A and B are shown apart, each in its own frame.
Chain A
Amino acid sequence: MSKPLFFPGHTACAGCGQSLAARLVIEAAGPNTIVVNNTGCLEVFSTYYPLTAWGVPFVHSLFENAAAVASGVEAALTYLGKKDKVNVIAQGGDGGTADIGLQALSGMWERGHDVLYVCYDNEAYMNTGVQRSGLTPFNSDTTTSPVGTQSMGNLRPKKPMPEIAVAHAISYVATASVGFLQDLQRKIKKAFSLKGPKYIQVHAPCPLGWRHEPRQTIEVGRLAVETGLYPLIEYEFGKLTGVRKIQPKPVEEYLRLQGRFRHLLNNPQAIKQIQEIADNNIDRYGLKIQL
Chain B
Amino acid sequence: MFGPLISKPGTSKNNKTGSWRIEARPKFLQKNCIACRLCILSCPEGCISGEEKNTFICDYDYCKGCGICVEVCPKKDIEMVKEDLDLTKV
Residues in A lying within 8 Å of B, measured CB to CB: 4, 6-17, 19-20, 23-24, 46-47, 49-56, 181-182, 207, 213-219
Contacts and interface: CB of A to CB of B under 8 A. Distances in A.
Contact of B6 (A23, A51, A216): A51
Q: Which of B9, B13, B17, B61 has the most CB of A within 10 A?
A: B9
Interface in B48-90: 59, 61-62, 64-68, 70-72
Nearest to B6: A52
B64 A14 contact: yes
A213 B71 CA distance: 11
Interface of B: 4, 6, 8-17, 20, 41-47, 59, 61-62, 64-68, 70-72
B66 to A, nearest CB: 4
A218 B42 CA distance: 8
A217 B45 contact: no
Contacts of A8: 12-13, 17, 45-47, 59, 61-62
A49 B42 contact: no
B15 A215 contact: no
Given A10-B12, A215-B66, A20 B42 contact: yes
Nearest to A178: B42
A28 to B, nearest CB: 11
A17 B44 contact: yes
A50 B67 contact: no
A56 B6 CA distance: 11
A49 B4 contact: yes
Contacts of A47: 6
A7 B71 contact: no
Given A14-B20, A16-B66, A20-B43, 11 more contacts: A15-B64, A20-B42, A20-B44, A23-B46, A50-B6, A50-B11, A51-B12, A52-B11, A207-B66, A214-B67, A217-B66
A117 to B, nearest CB: 22
21 contacts: A7-B9, A7-B13, A8-B61, A8-B62, A9-B13, A9-B14, A10-B15, A11-B17, A14-B44, A14-B66, A15-B64, A23-B44, A23-B46, A50-B4, A181-B42, A207-B66, A213-B67, A214-B68, A216-B71, A217-B66, A218-B68
Contacts of B72: 218
A52 B9 contact: yes
Contacts of A54: 9-10
B18 to A, nearest CB: 9
Contacts of A19: 44-45
A41 B46 CA distance: 18
A215 B67 contact: yes
Contacts of B45: 8, 10, 19
4 closest A-B pairs by beta carbon, nearest first, are A215-B67, A15-B66, A9-B12, A14-B64
A266 B6 CA distance: 51
| Most chain A beta-carbon neighbours within 10 Å: one of B43, B44, B59 | B44
Contacts of B68: 15, 20, 214-215, 217-218
Contact of A49 (B6, B17, B44): B6
Given A9-B17, A19-B45, A53 B12 contact: yes
A54 B15 CA distance: 14
Contact of B10 (A24, A49, A53): A53
